Structure formats: structure tokens, C-alpha cells
Amino acid sequence: MKTISTAKSHGGVQGVYSHASEACACDMTFAVFVPPQAKDGPCPVVWYLSGLTCTHQNVMDKGEYRRLAAEFGLIVVCPDTSPRGESVPDEKDNWQFGCGAGFYLDATQAPFSTNYRMYSYITEELPALIAKEFPADMTRQAIFGHSMGGHGALTIALKDPERFKSCSAFAPITRPMVAGWSRPAFEKYLGTDEAAWRAYDAVALIEDGKRFPEFLVDQGSADGFLEDGLRPWLLDEACKAAGIPLKLNMREGYDHSYFFISTFMDDHLRWHAERLAK
């Protein structure tokens, strides 16, 4: 692991790091905030998965998570959203596919299956690195994210409920199998057999029997992606049918940006801190 930068912030350290990823067959960059409490012992780990077009940097710059992470003693890990590099296949003019759009899945289709293995990266490789390199208590993990990253958080938590004490999302893509901006990506990454897509769709996972204790979701009512891309009511219906408590907050007048995310960041960090403390 290589340290790209570190800066003291809110009594802790905001760092940016890179490493040669085996899962993604390229160098990967990620951000980690280590709170001041890490001096006294391992701290719980909160994973934040970012949305389409983002890198580790967007939430690090604009997410406003450090004040409460420092107060609650949370390590916050912010991975990139896809493999990157000259050898990584991409569609340069398509922001909904390729670099910046890994959708937190393991691609099975050539030429994408070599690098686009964000599911393995987030669930296996990066946790092992975090456990090795940071003062992390891996028995206490939480996960959240935004948009495509909300999809990532929900699906990863549903498939591994033992790993996470809590899960939440800002404006998640609840049904990527059928949403206009993710269907073409799923086909290219996973092939045309939609049965294989269900492992990366929160609503389908719940329909297929996966469970998580409870979810928190915040969604802006003025979000331009609400009707076609996000549709939190589909998650609401699936959770109701499955008996999963979902706290879904529709936020009047808020859009899809970090101005929205940063407004409700405190609520989400409190949600996770309470559950990580148990």
C-alpha cells in the first residue's frame, strides 16, 4: 500500500492510499479517515460507496463526514467506483458504463471480467487490506452509499448480513435490473441472462429470500433521477413484503447532489454509530 496524501482533520487523519489490486487487475485508490480514538485501540469501520462518475474523492471533499466520525470514533473507508487505467476497457463518452461505473458487481463477460470485479474488491480484497494496514475493528462494520453506491451498500449488506451491524443509503438505485441507466451496463457486465443479474439488485435479492435487520434511506423529492433511476418505493414494497423495517425519508426539495448528502450525513452517521456501539 502506498500513501498518496495525509492531512489532519477534526483531530484524526484523512488519508488517500493506493495499492495494486488483484481483484481488479490494476492500481486502485481509496480514502480512509482514521479518527482520534484510534490512538486508544481499534475503531469500527464504516464503508461509504460512491455513485456514478465519482472517485474516492467526491465524498472526501464534499460529504462532510469527518466531524461526526471523529466524535463517534469511526474509521470511514471511501473506495473508488471502478477499476481504472490504460489497460482497463472503458467507454469514454458513456458515464453510465465502464470507468466510474463499476456497479459493485463481478463482471462475467469479456473484456470486462478481467478488471470489473468491484464486488470481490469491496467484499474481500479491500477489507483484508484495511484490516492489515489500519487500526480497524473488523468485527464492527457498517456500510452506506449514494445512488449506485447505495445500490452497492444494500446488495452487499443483504448478501452478507453477518458482516455489517447496519446499512443505509442516500438516493439508492433500488432496482438496477430494470432502471434505464443500469440495464445496459448489467447486460454488458453480466450477459443477457437476467437470472444472473438478480444477485446485484436489492429488490430481487429480497424477493429471493435475502434479509437484513433494517435499512435507513434518505431520498430527495427534487432528485431528477427519482422516477426512472432510483424508485425507492420499489424497495419500500419489497421490504414491507419481507418484513424488513425500512426507514424511508422523502426529503422535500432536495436533489441528487452532495448538497443533499451532506445535509443528512449526520443522521446516517448517528444511525451507524448507534448500531456499531451495540
Helix (H) or strand (E) holding 3: strand 2-9
Query: Read out DSSP for 125-143?
Result: IHHHHHHHHS-EEEEEEEE
Q: Which is nearer to a second copy, 236 or 255 (CB)?
A: 255
Q: Which is nearer to a second copy, 170 or 215 (CB)?
A: 170
- Look at the alpha carbons of 51, 245, 223, 62 in this order and tell me if their dihedral is positive or negative: negative
Q: Return the DSSP state at 109.
A: S
Q: How far apart are the first and last CA of the chain?
A: 32
The single residue among 214, 257, 267, 270 that binds a second copy, judged by CB under 8 A, is: 257
The single residue among 134, 181, 258, 271 that binds a second copy, judged by CB under 8 A, is: 258
The single residue among 19, 27, 53, 62 that binds a second copy, judged by CB under 8 A, is: 62
The closest alpha carbon to 217, from 157, 137, 139, 277, belongs to: 157
Report in angstroms how near the CB of residue 205 gets to a second copy at its nearest: 32
Report in angstroms how near the CB of residue 6 gets to a second copy at its nearest: 9
Report in angstroms how near the CB of residue 252 gets to a second copy at its nearest: 8
Report in angstroms how near the CB of residue 179 gets to a second copy at its nearest: 23
* Residues that are catalytic: 147, 223, 256
Q: What count of residues does the chain have?
A: 278
Q: Is-contact 169 215, C-beta < 8 A? A: yes
Query: Contact positions toward a second copy, by CB under 8 A?
Result: 7-11, 14, 61-62, 64, 66-67, 220, 222, 253-255, 257-260, 262-263, 266
